[in-house]
Structure 1
Amino acid sequence: MLDDNGLNPAEYIAAWNRKVESGEADKEEATAEQPRRDVDLRDSNGMTAAELRFLRNKPIDEAEAKTAEADTGDVEPRRSVVTDAQGRTGAEIRFQAAKRAEEAAKAKALAEAAADEPETANEGHDQEEGDLPDAIRAARDQPREFAEQRAAELQALLPEARRGRITMGVGVGTDTGGGARVVIGTSEDNGYLRKPLQLAAGEEIAEGRGHAETSILDHMDARDIRPSHIAAGRPICPPCADRVAAAGAEPASPLKNAKEDQ
């Protein structure tokens, strides 16, 4: 849109600013045909540059709207996008929830598959003598000595401040195939092993929530392993000693005197 002098808004503003700076604006005579212009940059019709731009753009916007309507037909107005506190749209929230559900299903399937697999590869007599892990060979040949020594070793690896509060245990037994099995137990929940503790090749962890010795026996009972020797890094308490005896196993480390519990 152009003014009476054929100037567009930008040209008009630039020309008026030059008049104001040079002082010509103050000398400009106001007439009925050309009313005096103020310094807020209005044209001869009293319109600001913003109003001029609006009038110029309005027919363009209307023409574009008619063209879009002719191309698309009757369409619903676009709804505003709603987001949550984290700025996520509904579609993003649904996508993330579906992804989490998929990952949880995969993790569950992997856990179930792992639970169905044998605990160790040495069950029965499938392995050759040279393929047996050192722990399995030692447990087979000297079960009492191995259990006691391994329990003492694990106990010594605990952080010094925790050795008097956590008990590590070792169980040696035989599976239905005649193979030696070594089960490590701890008095911490779910078989948690503190650093630098770790299982040796052929060993398996008992994921219990009680004493190390009873967790080992529960683990063996659930897998048809016949226990022969149970050892602990601290003296075995009377209730655990009773469980060991009831399972037909022998304690391979010192027992705790019943008077010490009183």
Structure 2
Amino acid sequence: MYAKCGCTEDARELFDNMSEGDVVSWTAMIAGYAQNGLAQEALALFEQLQREGTKPNEVTYVSVLSACAHSGLVDQGRHVFDSMCKNHGVTPTREHYACMVYLLGRAGCLDDAELFIYKMPIQPDSVVWMTLLGAARKYGHAEIGRRAFDRVVKLEPKNATPYVLLSSIYAAAGRKDELAKIRSEMKEAGVKKMPGCSWIEVDNQLHAFGDATHPQSKEIQAELDRLVGLMKKAGCDGCKQIPPF
């Protein structure tokens, strides 16, 4: 709870004061560091865990790999992944492989990430290929993006996300012909991009932002207009009229 709220120092104090810790508490603290971008702290605690004789489990390794991925620690991530089987007999799952693809892709090592997938001893799922596609979009690598796209579409033919990601790659590269082709493929496959929507729960009832059928839509729109007016008065030159709720 403390770590989820960003209070890692409070979380660590509580962890250090535990009379007896198990792999669950160790993993929770490592995950807390990872979630807050404190990769070095997560790795240090992981090393301490091993020194004190606690055996890490699958979830522990996911947390450590995530910490490495979010901080671009490629070499450390490779070492941790290699040590899973060699030192602790933990068989990597698809989640661990996805973490490694994310680690390599986030660091810009797209060729290594793709080769890593091809060498996987288990069949890569759509999450793994989608992770590579996301990395290809970030770095504008159209060829790898297309290959990842083809794999995802075979596994999830009605998923609009790969079409959107590949379209973004082509659009950013100014490849209009490929962009038109992918949009045509999307149309032929009958895939439609669902618009994003935010929700809020009040008194056990869900309310969607942008719902014109909401019984208080007029009052909500009036309040939004009032807030925009206040922001303009405060000097927010970039404020524009909010679209009708």
Q: Which category describes the TM-score, using the shorter chain as reference length? A: under 0.3
Bigger RCO (CA 8 Å, 6+ sep): 1
User: TM-score, with normalisation over the residues of structure 1?
Assistant: 0.23
User: TM-score, with normalisation over the residues of structure 2?
Assistant: 0.25
Between Structure 1 and Structure 2, the one with more strand by share is: 1
